[in-house]
Amino acid sequence: MVDTIYVDAHAHLDRYGMEITQVLTDLQQKKIVTLAVSMDPESYIKTLHLSNSNSWIIPAFGIHPWEAYKHVRNLDMIRWHMSKSPFFGEIGLDFYFVKDRTHYPVQVEMFKLFLAEATQQGKLVNIHTKGAERETCDLLRAFKTEQVIVHWYSGAQTHLKKLIKFGCYFSILKSPLFNNKDLWVRGLEMLHRYPVVFW
């Protein structure tokens, strides 16, 4: 009999509190390969530590678009982590939840930096895109990014079709209680319409 192996395509393991011990046991017992993304260098280091004692965790370095403005001066350190990380995430653009427009150019610069390295190093990227789907499509095309998981897509159908055409995979946030309900419903509709989209 072949064992079933699950893949969690987008997890923030460093953000668990006391429950982390149970979570780590679950990964092992239920055989869940976990793509563990990070928000910034600090969260990456925590995820790395967790992965040292649990072979089901694949840790990823990323600078989340919400955090990009804090790290533009640390490019050497970012490049060093990128060279070690097996894939990149969470990275991307957010012009929806981030209201301060002065942060947008910095988000774009940071995203470009990761996409360029991903193409050069042949690495997968785990992407967040909110209210910036057109810009995300344009940059993925410009950098010829090939291995892409788009997390929690909730944009227009036009851009979704482009992303599917690029060969992107999609992950959808599971808890309707944790985040914006409209976005959750839109994700479910997408799942019904495009069977290529998966959890």
**C-beta separation of 110 from 92 below 8 A:** no
Question: 119: burial class by Cβ within 10 Å (0-12, 13-18, 19+)?
Answer: middle
State the nearest-atom distance from the C-beta of 176 to Zn ion, in Å. 16
Binding region for Zn ion (CB under 5 A) out of 71-79, 82-90, 107-115, 183-191: 82-90
Sign of CA dihedral 101, 102, 103, 109: positive
State the nearest-atom distance from the C-beta of 37 to Zn ion, in Å. 6
- CA distances, 75 to each of 94, 114, 140 (Å): 20, 11, 21
- Closest residue to bound Zn ion by CB: 90
State the nearest-atom distance from the C-beta of 97 to Zn ion, in Å. 12
- CB atoms closer than 10 angstroms to residue 97: 11
Binding region for Zn ion (CB under 5 A) out of 21-29, 45-53, 86-94, 136-144: 86-94
State the nearest-atom distance from the C-beta of 151 to Zn ion, in Å. 6
Question: Toward Zn ion, which CB reaches closer, 90 or 94?
Answer: 90
What is the rounded radius of gyration, in angstroms, for the C-alpha atoms of the chain?
16
Q: Is 40 in the site for Zn ion (CB under 5 A)?
A: no
Q: Pick from 14, 90, 94, 117 the residue near Zn ion by CB under 5 A.
A: 90
Which residues of the shown chain bind Zn ion in the complex (CB under 5 A)? 90
